[in-house]
């Protein structure tokens, strides 16, 4: 059964760059979409973007100019960077597998911008 | 790309059935059969309970069912149980190869 484990800095200052990585264990890394979703405190989920194993990316238009997804199949890992963060980027960030059915999720990382 | 519209909260008594709506547009919910529903308990990651409008992943209770009519998708939970108390989020594919979520609905089991 696939498991996702994510990590990255939890406290950033405005204008800094958010960087998170998600490692995939116990399953095939190939033939899957891998994505990032965030959840501001007390609010709903927001899709950030997805990446195919080949590196093809899809982004939320509202974040496209600041978000970058990358993948390292040799390490079974994929990453998110979000540039020029502000307080509005404060949220729990999740990595997940799939698009039509996001059936595996990381544990979540609270990122606070202050 | 606007968030899908869900009621902020719903409630029901054990054994009852409840339905949560998820309203979008012809560019998302109404245009594609790619609506999914996620259950999220406090402090936990979301868990998919419905995908492709009506499909249940293996291991998800048959008490959960999904449907769609026009631009509105619905999640029905029958035989409410205390463990169903959670937040529920809908998601849909949208034109432009994007995905959008709803604002989430808090279900209270009375």
Percentage of chain B lying above the pLDDT 90 cut? 94
Q: What is the DSSP string of B19-53?
A: EEEEE--TTTTTT-S-EEEEEE-TTS--EEEEBTT
How far A96 CA lies from chain B's nearest CA (Å)?
A: 10
Token pair recorded at residue B5? 């519209």
Q: What is the mean pLDDT of residues B67-90?
A: 98
Of the pLDDT bands very low, low, confident and very high (cuts 50, 70, 90), residue B1 is low
Of the pLDDT bands very low, low, confident and very high (cuts 50, 70, 90), residue B96 is confident
Instruction: Answer whether B49's CB lies under 8 Å from B38's CB.
Output: yes
Q: Helix, strand or coil for residue A63?
A: coil
Instruction: Answer whether B95's CB lies under 8 Å from B103's CB.
Output: no
Residue A31 pLDDT greater than 90, yes or no:
no
Nearest by CB to A101, which of B51, B96, B103? B51
Q: What is the mean pLDDT of residues A99-105?
A: 94
Cα separation, A107 vs A111, whole angstroms: 13
- Residue A84: per-residue pLDDT: 97
Kindly report the average pLDDT of chain B as a whole number.
96
- Residue B21: per-residue pLDDT: 98
The DSSP secondary-structure symbol of A87 reads G
Token pair recorded at residue B101? 């979520």
Contact (CB<8Å) B1/A60: yes
Of the pLDDT bands very low, low, confident and very high (cuts 50, 70, 90), residue A2 is very high
Best CA proximity match to A114, nearest among A8, A6, A14, A3: A14
- Residue A27: per-residue pLDDT: 79
- Residue B30: per-residue pLDDT: 97
| For chain A, counts of helices (H) and of strands (E) | 0, 11
Contact (CB<8Å) A61/B96: yes
Contact (CB<8Å) B103/A102: no
Nearest by CB to A44, which of B36, B99, B103? B103
- Residue A53: per-residue pLDDT: 84
Nearest by CB to B3, which of A44, A102, A107? A44
A51 burial (CB, 10 Å; 0-12 / 13-18 / 19+) is: buried
pLDDT in tens, B28-56: 999 999 999 999 999 999 999 999 999 99
Cα separation, B63 vs B12, whole angstroms: 14
Kindly report the average pLDDT of chain A as a whole number.
95
Residue B72 pLDDT greater than 80, yes or no:
yes
Which chain B residues contact residue A102 at CB under 8 A? 36, 38, 46, 48, 91
Which chain B residues contact residue A50 at CB under 8 A? 99
pLDDT in tens, A44-63: 999 999 999 888 999 999 99
- Residue A82: per-residue pLDDT: 98
pLDDT in tens, A62-97: 998 999 999 998 999 999 999 999 999 999 999 999
- Residue A30: per-residue pLDDT: 84
Q: What is the mean pLDDT of residues A35-43?
A: 97
Largest CA distance in chain A: 38
The DSSP secondary-structure symbol of B79 reads S
């Amino acid at each position: 059964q696939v498991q996702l484990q994510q990590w990255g800095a939890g406290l950033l200052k405005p204008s800094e760059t958010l960087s998170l990585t998600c490692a995939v264990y116990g399953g095939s890394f190939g033939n899957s979409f891998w994505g990032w979703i965030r959840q501001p405190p007390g609010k709903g989920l927001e899709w950030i973007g997805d990446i195919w194993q080949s590196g093809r990316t899809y982004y939320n238009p509202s974040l496209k100019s600041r978000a970058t997804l990358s993948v390292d199949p040799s390490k079974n890992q994929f990453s998110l960077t979000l540039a020029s963060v502000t307080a509005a980027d404060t949220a729990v960030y999740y990595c997940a597998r799939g698009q039509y059915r996001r059936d595996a999720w990381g544990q979540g990382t609270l990122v606070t911008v202050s | 790309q606007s968030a899908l519209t869900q009621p902020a909260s719903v409630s029901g008594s054990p054994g009852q059935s409840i339905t949560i709506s998820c309203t979008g547009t012809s560019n998302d919910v109404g245009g594609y059969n790619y609506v999914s529903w996620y259950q999220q308990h406090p402090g936990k990651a979301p868990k998919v309970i419905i995908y492709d409008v009506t499909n249940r992943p293996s291991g998800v209770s048959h008490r959960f069912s999904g449907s769609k009519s026009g631009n509105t998708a619905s999640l029905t939970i029958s035989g409410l149980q205390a463990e169903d108390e959670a937040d529920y989020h809908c998601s849909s594919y949208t034109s432009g190869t994007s995905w959008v979520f709803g604002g989430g609905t808090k279900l209270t089991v009375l």
